[in-house]
Amino acid sequence: MKYSGKAGFKSESVETRPGTYQNQSIERRIKGDVLSYTTRYSPQQNSTIDDVRITNRLSIVMDPFLRTHIGEMLWVSFSGSKWKVESFTVQSPRIIIDLGGLYNE
């Protein structure tokens, strides 16, 4: 299955008001293939809400920006939500990205 979506990369803090700084992420469009698509629910103790976790793997085509900033990738959009990047493996000319839980901004 083909993949096309956005990825968020951390950037430096930006002063939003005098004395107030906020981290802002840089969004970039990425393309590649979905290698695996699995969803799992982990029930939380003392809670009625389950923790949704996906264990998807994406194979993304590397560009010069991605080659330089792969260590700064925070999240990837997938199925309408932002998911944490758990790990990645460089297999030039591609990067294999393992996704985990939902990304909270």
pLDDT given at position 43: 59
One pLDDT digit (tens) per residue for the chain, 105 residues: 899 999 999 877 777 888 888 777 789 999 999 998 776 666 556 655 556 666 789 999 999 999 999 999 999 999 888 999 999 999 989 999 999 888 887
**CB contact at 8 A, 25 and 84:** no
List CB contacts of 28: < 8 A, sequence separation 6 or more: 6, 7, 9, 65, 66
Contact between residue 92 and residue 62 where contact means Cβ atoms under 8 Å apart: yes
* Alpha-helical regions (H) of 1-105: 64-69
Instruction: Give start and end residues of each alpha helix (H) in 7-94.
Output: 64-69
pTM of the complete model: 0.76
In this predicted structure, what is the pLDDT of residue 13?
77
Per-residue pLDDT at 4: 95
